[in-house]
Amino acid sequence: MDYSWKDVMPKSERLLYSKTFSQTNDLGIKPALLVIDCTYAFTGTRKTTIEKAIEEVPTACGEMAWEAIPYIQQLLFVIREKQLPIIYTKNDVESQLMVGKATKSIRQVDLDPYYQLIPDEIRPSDGEWVLQKPKASAFFSTSLVSYLYQKQIDSLIICGATTSGCVRATATDACSYGISTFVVEEACFDRSYFAHCANLFDINAKYASVISFNTLNEQLLQMDQ
């Protein structure tokens, strides 16, 4: 696979890691899709440059978000066709008033409305769970593990934002719980392309399988055979 980090991470380091780390995760028989924090707080309200996006929403990721959205759309279509579970996450603004924000403080503006709105292109369908989370990981202080156990989910497919933040934190915790986890490269985004690539490289080495949309789609098709 032609990973995005090949032109960012030095070749010597990529070769070194390939000798030490490898991920051979199994998609299992009942995966679930986890769409992390795809709200206007991170996508921005429209497709534009990150410089313009952060003028309106300081946490927005600009064009990287809107390049990922068509892939998230395709993922949602495929997973819905197979009638597999889909979970969305949002920031739990009320809980954060008590336990603090998920990350360090940013420029003080009222972001609460942006944390609640998901772009129409990838909005949840009826019956899909929208999980409110107080911290970066979708597992921290939520009932996600109980849900996965109840639904007999044996692997997680992760997409969303940000690659270096909530996606990485969730993938790390999923690994800690022993859950086979896949991160879809084109369907994740960050406000920094370097951070996106470096974190995908590290996630793939240690916590989850970073996979392209096309490869994942092929594996999902094989499940029907």
Residue 72 amino acid letter: I
How far is it, in rounded angstroms, from Cα 104 to Cα 48?
25
pTM of the model: 0.91
Q: pLDDT confidence of 224, banded at 50, 70, 90?
A: confident
pLDDT digits (tens, 9 = 90+) for 149-186: 999 999 999 999 999 999 999 999 999 999 999 999 99
Whether 183 contacts 171, CB under 8 Å: yes
pLDDT digits (tens, 9 = 90+) for 189-203: 999 999 999 999 999
**Of residues 223 and 203, more confidently modeled:** 203
CATH pick for 26-222 out of 3.30.950.10, 3.40.50.10240, 3.30.710.10, 3.40.50.850 = 3.40.50.850
Q: pLDDT confidence of 99, banded at 50, 70, 90?
A: low
Residue 33: closest CA among 195, 160, 136: 160
